[in-house]
């Protein structure tokens, strides 16, 4: 994954994790796998854990241990009502942000196309 995508993912990873947990309770490695299935490969997978701890301390998610048949207990995370509310807010902010970026990019694209059709020397 290139550096720009990495930076974009870094800034939105907490939101992505919250959205992943909102679908169904899951454990750390499962979240990484789900993100990878959506095309989001983390440079260091362990970076989810500090964020999960932060989300937990903020009261957005909670953890619980589930007994496993073939090994020790596994730690799962599930969404709390405060987390669902926060996710809605983050989604709205993200949509506004993405729309603004999309708008700028579309403007730049149409400018480039018109410049290609009518080339001028000045900027």
Partner 1 sequence: MHRAEQHTQQRIADLVDACAGYWELRGIAREHITEMQLELEQHLQQAVSDGKSLEAVLGPNPAAFAEAWAREMHPHFWRGGAVVLHALVYALSVVSTSALLSQLLAHAPAFTFTLFAAYLLTGSGLLALLLQLGGFLSPRISTRAGREALMLTGVVLAVLALRLAGLTVNWSMALLSWSWPMTIVLLVLAAFLFSLDYWLSSNSEPPSTASANWPALRAVTMFVASVGVFDVMMFVGSVAVFDFCQLALRLV
β 61-68/26-27 pair status: unpaired
H, E, C per residue of 12-39 = HHHHHHHHHHHHCCEEHHHHHHHHHHCC
CB-nearer residue toward partner 1: 22 or 51: 51
**Considering the complex, what minimum distance in angstroms separates the CB of residue 90 from partner 1?**
18
Which C-beta is closer to partner 1: that of 49 or that of 94? 49
Least distance from partner 1 to the Cβ atom of residue 89, Å: 21
Task: State yes or no: residue 119 binds partner 1 (CB under 8 A).
Answer: no
Distance CA 68, CA 65 (A): 9
Site for partner 1 in 40-99 (CB under 8 A): 43-47, 49-51, 53-54, 57, 63, 65, 71-75
Q: Which is nearer to partner 1, 59 or 107 (CB)?
A: 59
Distance CA 10, CA 120 (A): 40
- Number of residues forming the site for partner 1 (CB under 8 A): 22
Nearer to partner 1, 69 or 122 (CB): 69
The strand ranges marked E within 29-120 are: 61-68, 71-79
> d(Cα 58, Cα 28) in Å, to the nearest integer?
18
Q: Applying CB under 8 A, which residues contact partner 1?
A: 27-29, 32, 43-47, 49-51, 53-54, 57, 63, 65, 71-75
């Amino acid at each position: 994954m290139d550096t720009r995508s990495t930076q974009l993912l870094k800034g939105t990873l907490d939101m992505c994790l919250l959205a992943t947990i909102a679908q169904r309770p899951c454990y750390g490695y499962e979240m990484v796998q789900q993100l990878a299935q959506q095309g989001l490969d983390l440079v260091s997978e362990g970076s989810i854990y500090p964020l999960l701890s932060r989300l937990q301390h903020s009261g957005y998610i909670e953890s619980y241990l589930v007994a496993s048949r073939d090994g020790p207990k596994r730690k799962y995370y599930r969404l709390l009502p405060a987390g669902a509310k926060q996710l809605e807010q983050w989604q709205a902010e993200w949509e506004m942000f993405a729309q603004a970026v999309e708008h700028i990019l579309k403007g730049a694209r149409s400018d480039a196309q018109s410049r290609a059709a009518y080339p001028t020397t000045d900027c």
